[in-house]
Structure 1
């Protein structure tokens, strides 16, 4: 098919994470090729500033407020501070602080609470400090989950100097937006950073990202963990098609939409649901 040079192809893969009408559960289906323009015109409405310079922070919106959480500061320090930006006034104020400073973590909203998950508590646990020569370990999922699904880790061959711990976090903290109270809630099944994370109904999905491998190595994984926020229990989900980092993840109706990512060597243009 002839394509305009101003467009890029996006190939879609459908991953049925949830039961949906008209689609077999656990199905993977290729969808038609779409095109997206190189640029979409944006209108600048104003320029505002946070209280602190931040990199690799998490941010969520609750009502008129945007909560900017943790990250790495301008001096290289890992931040615990949380600031609240008011979209009506353009003003940002200090709001609360994490119990554990972190970057490359994720935050999602459930009710009047913000869940802050995973991330790295040191720069050693962040990207760009490992040899990108990799190999792939394949592990079959438990019987009955999906016979065709394979959980896969793309593992760095190089260990860190001195075998230092990677600093990845399992910790989950919650922020009550009404009281500004931060509480340690529990742990993820394994430490991860740079993963996709969304909430649908009362289920929280942790998709892919970076995990530790044999204590001194990093793995990019396609494993999916699901947390039932009502029952407070974790379960294993269907593995994603790709083992990538930094996925842009959103909810569209009953689907989790994951766009792009990085596998340690290549940047992906794949979108899967």
Structure 2
């Protein structure tokens, strides 16, 4: 994996910003609406100060008009994302107009067509019996798996300390073992205030690919999240990946939108698709 300087985290009141040169962006990961004015100012300050080409925000629908007035455009909307009641919006403002242009639109259209065909397939529920919840004792194996699978990644998931810190917050990792070694993993990153979860960090070693590992991990994570009172699941998947988009489409997720040139992964900036699913109701 290419070693990159990990993004910095800034807390503003109860809101959280992430920024760094690898993704060349500021990402407002969590907005507390009481912070909206100072957060908007700080987001733009950081972008100008560092020369980032994109500002990307995840905000409740009620805050979207404030950002629209500042020139942000909505790229994906997840209905019922906030507490199972109102939408969550993924919005962007581009300091470099070229970054808003998707250069591989033909590939992305093809991936979406294949995913739509998978959505029409009605199959049996994946067998989740091989999926295990991972703990601190698995951290080094997790870091090693991510090191092997990803050339680069937007978060420092090859750093055992980062994984431990994540486990100690609201992130639960899951894995599938093969021959005694960790061969596939994913994580569920919960937002208990919004009662939603991001299904993320999917990785499978080559020897286990094509055997439905990601679908099994996703199904097990959904089961556990429902038990924890989570209502909506979403993911931000590489828009050019046939495999991951098909996994979510087959599992009943809907496409919320596409984020152009959004995330540094696999050695370059990639466009991402946001998929969502209501996994439980109040």
Alignment TM-score, normalising by the size of structure 2? 0.24
Tell me which protein shows more helix as a share of its residues: 2
Tell me which protein shows more strand as a share of its residues: 1
The structure showing larger relative contact order (alpha-carbon pairs under 8 Å, at least 6 residues apart) is 2
Higher alpha-carbon Rg: 1
